[in-house]
Structure 1
C-alpha cells in the first residue's frame, strides 16, 4: 500500500487528533455517559456529572451539539424546558466509551502493577 496516498497517512493524523482531544476530554466522556440511556435536562446532567461547573457543562454541551453528537430540544412550556439527548453519532461514541471503560477496568490492576514495578526501578 502506498502510504503517501492512503487516507490513513500521518498527514491526516492532525484531524483525528483533534477529534480524540475533544471526545477524550474528561467532561465530554462524562456527559456522554450521563446521556447514554435517556435525554436529560441541564440541571440533571450537572448533578450526575460530579464536579462540573455550569460554565464547563454549557461549553461541553455546545461542543457536542456542534459536532452532531447531542441534540438540544426546547419545549414550549413556561418556563421553557430544554432536554439534551445523544444523536445516533453520540450513541456510537457512548458505546465506544463503554468499551474503553470496560478495557480500563479489566486492565487496571495490571497497569497499577506495572507502574509500581517501573517506579521501583527508577
Structure 2
C-alpha cells in the first residue's frame, strides 16, 4: 500500500506554502481577494485557488503580487525569512489611516530612526 499524501517539499506542498504566504501578505495589508484580483487583472477565484495552493503562480503574476503586496519575490517563494511580527502589526495598524495620517506616522518613524538612542544621564556621584 502506498501513501497518497505528498512528500514534504513536493510541488503540491510548495504551492500550499506559497499560497499561505500570499494570503498572509494580502491580509497584512488589508487587501480583499476581490481588490487583489482587480489589481492583478485575474478572476477572484484565481486568487482563492492561488492561496489554497491548488493553482500554480505564473512568473508574471508573482512579480505583480510582490509589488502589490510589498514583499520581495524571494519571500513569496519561501527563500527569505518572514517580516518581523512588529512590521506586520504596523502594517495592520496603519492600513485604515488616511494618507495624511500615514504621512505623519512615516515622519515619526523617520524621526525615531534618525534620533538614535536617548542620551544617558551622567551618573557621577
TM-score, normalisation: structure 1: 0.29
Task: Specify the structure having the higher radius of gyration (Cα).
Answer: 2
Write 1 or 2 for the structure with the bigger share of strand. Answer: 1
- TM-score by length of structure 2 reads 0.28
